[in-house]
Chain A
Amino acid sequence: MFYLSVFFQYMAQYIKTKLQYRTDLLVEFFSDLMSQAVNLIFILVVFGHTDLLHGWTRDEMIFIYGFFLVPFALFGAFFNIWDFNERYIVRGELDRVLTRPVHSLFQIILERMELESLLGAVTGFIIMGYAGSRLDLDFHWYDVPIFLLFVIGGMFIYAGVFIALATISFWSDARSSIMPMMYNISNYGRYPIDIYNRVIRYILTWVLPFAFVGVYPSAYFLGKKEWYVYSFLTPVMGVAFFVLALLLWNAGIKRYRGAGN
C-alpha cells in the first residue's frame, strides 16, 4: 500500500517534469513510431518475396508484432534502466537512492519512468486489430484476462533480463554496452521459434526467453494449439525471471563500492 502511494507520487512528479519539455515528448513519440515502422517494413518487405514463413502467414507475423509491442511498451515505460551503470554507478546517484527508506530498485524504476513509451501499446493494439480482423480470429471473454496475464508475464521477462544485466555493474567495473545489443536479440523472439536451430531455440526459450514476449503467447490467440503449453508458461517464466533478477539485485547491492573510489 505504501509502495502504491509512493508510486503515484512519483508519477505525478514525472508528469509535471515532462510537461516542461513538450517538444522532447513529441520527438520521443516520433522516434518510437519510427522504430515500430522499421520492424513492420521488414515484415512487409520479406513477405514481398515469400508467402509463408515456416507455415506462418504474413498477417500472423504482423499479429505477433502487434502483441509484442504491448508488453514491450510496458517494459519501456517502467523498466527504463539501460543506462543504470552510467547514471547510478559511475555518477554515484545510487548513494542517494540508498539513503532513502524505499527498496533501491523500486526507487530507480520510479525515477526512470518513461510513460510516453506506453504509446507503443496503442500502436500494438491497432496492429493487432488490423491483423486480427484479416485473420478472422475467434474472441472469447476469457481472452481478456489471459491477454493481461501474458502481457504482464512478457513485461516481467524483459524486466528480469534487463535488471539482471544491470546488476553486472555491481560485479564488474566495466562500462557495459551489452544492454543496447540485447535489444537486437530481443527482436528474434517475434519470429516463429521453429525456424531456428536447437541452440538458438533453447536460448530464446530458457536463457534469454524473449520468445515468451512474442511468438509463444501470440500462438494462443492465433489458435496454434501445438504451442499452447508454451503460451501458458509465459506468466510462470515472467515471475521466475523477475524473482531471479531481484535476488541478483539484492546480492549485488551488498557489493556496491560507491562512487569516487
Chain B
Amino acid sequence: MGNVIEVENLRKEFKAYSSRSGLMGAFRDLFTRNYKIIQAVHDISFTVNQGEMVGYIGENGAGKSTTIKMLTGILTPTAGKVSVNGMNPHKEREAFVRTIGVVFGQRSQLWWDIAVQESFRLLKKVYRVSDSDYKEHMEHVIETLDIGPLLDKPVRKLSLGQRMRCELAAALIHNPPLLFLDEPTIGLDVLVKLKIREFLKEINQKYNTTILLTTHDISDIEALCDRVIMLDEGKIIYDGSLQRLKENWGEGKQIQFTFSQEITSAELHPLTAAWGVKWSRGEQDNSWIAHVPKAHVSEIISCIVNHYEIQDLNLYEISTEEIIRNIYEEGVAHG
C-alpha cells in the first residue's frame, strides 16, 4: 500500500503582533507595529500508509491543529512539501477535499437551523454522490451510529453527543479514503465515546480508511491507534507505535504500601536505595508509593515486608497518560 500522507520539512510561521503598553504606545502602534515570527510548525516530516490509524498528540499550542489545517488544505504552508492522497492540498483544494473527510469537534459542520437530513442532502450534492452510492453507504452509517431518529431534527436541538454522531456521518457521506478528526470526543460522555470508537474501528476495517486523529483523551488513542505522533513546540518528538512507547518509557511499576504505623521517607529510603527506588507519599494515611524498576519488584516487596508491618499492598502499571506526561516533562523521547 502506498503512502496516503507524505510530509517533508513542513513549516508554518505566523506573524504575531505585539502591542506597546499604555496610551502613548497604542498611539505609536497606529504608525508602526512590532511583530515577531512564531513557528507554529517547525520542519516536521512523516508519512502515513493506507489503512493506518494515527494519533496525533501534543499539548495546547504544540501545532496539532495547524498541521491538520495544512493537511486538509485550509492553511497554506510557509515551506516544505505536503502530499495527501497524491495531491497538494491547498493547490488543488477543490479536487482534493473530495477525497477526505474532516470533523472538527469544536465546530459544527452542519447547518444550524435545518434538519440533519437536509444538511446531508446538501452535502450529497456538494460532494456529487450518486443516489445509489449514498443509499448503499449511508444507510449502513446511519444504522451503526444509531442516528436514524435524529435525522428530521434541526441541529440546534441536538445534544452534543447526538450532534457529534451526525457530524461524523456527515463527514463520511462521500466515503472518503482518508479521515481527519480534530478532537472528535471532546466533551462527550463515556457511552458516546465508546460508540464512536467502535464505529471508527469498523469503517477502518471495512473500507481500509486511513484515520488521523488529534485528541486530549489518551484513552481514544489507546483504543484506536497503533501509532502515535507526538508534537512539542512545533516539532515531532516521537513517532512510532504506542506499544514501543510503553516499553521504552513505561518500564517499571508502582507499588503502594499501606503501613500500620506512621513512617517517614528517611526510614524507607536507605532500605531500597540499592535498587534505585523513588518514594512518594500516597493518598491515604500511612501509605507510600514506591516507583520501582521492573526487574526488582519481588525483592523490594520482600525487603519492605520484612522490616515493617503492612496492612495493604497494591501493584500498578504506569498509565500511558503518565508516560506521556513524563515525556513532556523530560523533553525529546528516545526511541
Contact = CB atoms under 8 A, between A and B. Distances in A.
Interface of A: 2, 5-6, 9-10, 13, 16-17, 20, 92-96, 98-103, 173, 254-258, 260-261
What 5 A-B pairs have minimum CB-CB distances, sorted nearest first?
A101-B98, A99-B102, A98-B74, A9-B125, A17-B113
A103 B94 contact: yes
Interface in B90-122: 90, 93-98, 100, 102, 104, 107-109, 111, 113-114, 118, 121-122
- For B104, B109, B125, the residue with the greatest tally of chain A CB atoms inside 10 Å of its CB is B125
B66 interface: yes
Nearest to B90: A254
A260 B97 contact: no
Nearest to A2: B128
Contact of B40 (A17, A100, A101, A261): A261
Contacts of A101: 94-98, 126-128
A95 B74 contact: yes
A9 B128 CA distance: 12
A258 B127 contact: no
B65 interface: yes
Given A13-B122, A99-B100, A101-B126, 18 more contacts: A5-B125, A9-B121, A13-B111, A13-B118, A17-B111, A92-B107, A94-B74, A96-B108, A100-B123, A101-B95, A101-B127, A102-B94, A254-B76, A254-B90, A257-B75, A258-B65, A261-B14, A261-B66
A5 B107 CA distance: 27
11 contacts: A5-B125, A6-B125, A9-B125, A13-B111, A16-B118, A20-B113, A92-B107, A95-B69, A99-B97, A99-B100, A99-B109
Contacts of B125: 5-6, 9
B316 interface: no
B75 A96 contact: no
Given A13-B111, A17-B113, A92-B107, A260 B128 contact: no
Contacts of B118: 13, 16
B287 interface: no
B72 interface: yes
A237 B105 CA distance: 44
Nearest to A260: B65
Contacts of B128: 2, 101
Contact of B114 (A5, A6, A17, A93): A17
A10 B118 CA distance: 10
A16 B112 CA distance: 13
A102 B114 CA distance: 20
A96 B107 contact: yes
B127 A16 contact: no
A20 B112 CA distance: 13
Interface of B: 14, 17, 40, 65-66, 69, 72-76, 90, 93-98, 100, 102, 104, 107-109, 111, 113-114, 118, 121-123, 125-128
A131 B254 CA distance: 91
A62 B128 CA distance: 47
B103 to A, nearest CB: 10
Contacts of B109: 96, 99
B114 A256 contact: no
Nearest to A16: B114
Contacts of B126: 6, 9, 100-102
B40 A10 contact: no
B114 A99 contact: no
A258 B98 CA distance: 20
Given A10-B122, A99-B74, A258 B97 contact: no
Nearest to B171: A99
Contacts of B127: 100-101
Contacts of A9: 121-122, 125-126
Contacts of A20: 113
Contact of B75 (A5, A10, A93, A258): A258
Nearest to A255: B76
Nearest to B96: A101
A10 B72 CA distance: 24
A260 B75 CA distance: 13
Nearest to B40: A261
A95 B122 contact: no
Given A98-B74, A101-B95, A258 B69 contact: yes
Nearest to A96: B109
Contacts of B96: 101
B122 to A, nearest CB: 6
Given A2-B128, A92-B107, A261-B40, A98 B14 contact: no
Nearest to A91: B107
A15 to B, nearest CB: 10
Contacts of B102: 99
A92 B104 CA distance: 11
B211 to A, nearest CB: 16
B12 to A, nearest CB: 9
A258 B66 contact: yes
Contacts of A95: 69, 74, 104, 107
Given A5-B125, A9-B122, A99 B72 contact: yes
Contacts of B113: 17, 20
Nearest to A107: B126
A257 B66 CA distance: 9
Nearest to A10: B122
A17 B112 CA distance: 10
